[in-house]
Structure 1
Amino acid sequence: MRDQLATLATEARRPDQADIDRRSTLDLARAMNDNDAEVPAAVARALPAIAAAIDAVAERMRRGGRLVYIGAGTAGRMGVLDASECPPTFNTAPGQVVGLIAGGDGAIRTSVEGAEDDDRQAAADLDRLDLRPEDVVVGISASGRTPYAVGAVRHARARGALTLGLAANAGSALGAAAEHPLEIVTGPELVSGSTRLKAGTAQKLVLNMISTITMIRLGKTYGDLMVDVRATNAKLRARSRRIVALATGADEGDIEDALSATGGEVKDAILMLLAGVGAADAARLLTDAGGHLRAALEASAARTGGERP
């Protein structure tokens, strides 16, 4: 085990960090900040591979597939976090984006020792989802050798699902197991081996890209506006009104009327106001356009001979 870990960049030590316990707090904060600044460059080096993976993910999800993140420890928690943010941000359907963590939901808060070593449990966890070829499984592991993540990707690939392997070391077993290896080499951590630091930050950045850009490809935004937001609280209801205002320039009363007519659906309200159609027509245009607001606006303009957005 020691020899295997010694080969991993994420387990390496940097001589310039050997005295961190003797430094001032400000010096330590600067050192951490300098370390963190290395992460975006590491992600940038992998952007072509990330973009190709996202295009493949979006294609599967257009066919009704699910996006499943799976990992252990920090990596698993990152996946659960990203999955949990998709429903309020993009109004994804229940179960459309899923986060699985070794040891079950209790492991989100408390470490479950040994769970990461159980590749058979990973297969069982995925089997409970009844994987289909349209689905996508993203294995996440800083080391790239965690049995739970590697086993999950191998099992998913055998079932015909699209597989991505997100690791922080090059030449990883996880990358080799996946159709799309995403190896973001972030190097030694400030605290040697503590991959919740740079490696975890890289995972967060890449998962942000996977979910956000996929949702943009699926028509979940209009420009940079979050038009599929689910207004489940006062803040999000206010955001919905603001998004409609930014997209249309309409006055407050018309915005309220449109949102009321569409049951709070932001896309439909924008389409009503910009295209001058009723709520039923807006819903039908969006359905025909596969949920893409810009395409629905263009279809409405073509139908009436109006100006396209």
Structure 2
Amino acid sequence: MVFKRYLDRSLRENRVSAKTTEHLHDSAAGLDQRPPAEIAALLASGQVAAAENVQKAIPAICAGAMAMARTINAGACLHYAAAGSSGLMAAADAQELGGTFSIPAAQLRIHVAGGLPSGVEMPGDTEDATDGLATALAELSEKDTLITVSASGSTPFTIAAARIGKSKGATVIGIANNAGSELLDMSDHAVLLETPPEVLSGSTRMGAGTAQKIALNMLSTLMATHLGHVHDGMMVNVNADNIKLRARACGIVVQIAGVSEATAQQALDAAGGDVKAAVLMAATGLSRDIAQARLKESNGHLRPVLERTV
């Protein structure tokens, strides 16, 4: 009974004094004493609740995605900066852009506190180390976009990166899970993911991390849509560098051009793997050079070329 009163008081005090990401969950009392299925259900519902909160950030995500598209169109760089589990989320998004949308590696930079881990350990003290950031971000320009991620919105490494970005005139997108946090205050596009307290207090790899992943996926996919790399829900700028993706590319040409697999594959081979050009070649009989020239005129967007040609 004494312990129960102590825990209740601790829950109240923590909820008042700490950041949302450090609050104790309303159902935290006695969590470790519950049946596994009940704990698992609570963990699942925590993830769902976190995901639902991303909807509120849609306007900021849309604006940020436009900024990212402008950066890529200008031949400039997207920089991702974060620490800890937020760094892993940011890095995963950045590393998928080449394969999914053929964004050139030269236009992507990843800055994770302590560097990308090569083993199973991810030291926590590196999120306070900012000494190498000035060098890492030395080439930032006003054409670049810096995507910064921090659950608390106050991680020293991420805050320092955002400050450098602002000082160099880069567009700063800030993703954080605490309202009124420093990172959001200094960002050009503030993506607030106001997720509820974690079932495991402070373990932001859980709900906060889920919301971050969703927001990052939305930003990069919206960016790709603006760039013309998405057509009817298909990744028409895919870098088909393995068996699965080559089959997917062929399927995309079949679907859009309305041709057989054999014709689609022939068009892909003739287009050197360029899916958009292959679609035009298969659907209209255009040569590779003319197909690519028309795509260039439409800034890489397939639909307007198809509508004018078919």
For normalisation by structure 2, the TM-score amounts to 0.91
Give how far 1:152 is off. Answer: 0.2
Q: Secondary structure at the match of 2:196?
A: coil
Q: Distance in 1 between matches of 2:184 and 2:272?
A: 45
**Is contact 1:131-1:156 (8 Å) kept?**
yes
Is 1:268 aligned to residue 277 of structure 2? yes
The residue type paired with residue 13 of structure 1 is L
Cα 1:204–1:179 shift into 2, 3 Å: same
What SS does structure 2 have at the residue aligned with 1:78?
helix
Deviation at 1:65, TM superposition (A): 2.3
Percent identical residues: 36
| Residue number among 64, 86, 97 corresponding to 2:75 in the alignment | 64
Q: What is aligned with 2:91?
A: 80
2:20 is the alignment partner of 1:12: no
Q: Deviations over 1:259-285 (max 9, x none)?
A: 111112111100112222111211211
Distance 1:194 1:235 in 2: 35
Which residue matches 1:49?
60
Structure 2 counterparts to residues 1-309 of structure 1, below 5 A: 6-106=17-117, 109-127=120-138, 130-299=139-308, 301=309, 307=310
Amino acid in the other structure paired with 1:195:
T
Residues in 1 aligned to 2:77 and 2:301: alpha-carbon distance in whole angstroms: 19
Amino acid at match of 1:139: T
Question: In 2, Cα distance between the equivalents of 1:146 and 1:109?
Answer: 22
Separation in 1, partners of 2:193, 2:118? 25
Q: Secondary structure at the match of 2:132?
A: helix
Shift of 1:133: 1.1
Alignment partners' CA distance in 2, 1:74 and 1:60:
26
State the one-letter code of the partner of 2:203.
S
AA at the equivalent of 1:202: A
Task: Supply the AA of the counterpart residue of 2:265.
Answer: E
Q: Take 2:55 and 2:261, find their aligned partners in 1: how far apart are those partners?
A: 42
Relative distance call for 1:274 and 1:44 in structure 2 (3 A) is: same
Q: Which has the higher contact order (CA 8 A, sep 6+)?
A: 2
Determine the C-alpha separation between the residues in 1 that align with 2:157 and 2:193: 19
1:77, 1:108 within 8 Å by CA — same for their partners in 2?
no
Partner Cα separation in structure 1 for residue 133 and residue 65 of structure 2: 23
The residue matched to 1:264 in structure 2 has which SS?
Answer: coil
Q: Is the 8 A contact 1:286 1:293 kept in 2?
A: yes
Structure 2: runs of 5+ lacking an equivalent: 1-12
Matches of 1:210 and 1:107, distance apart in 2: 26
- CA-based RMSD: 1.9
1:109 deviates by 4.2
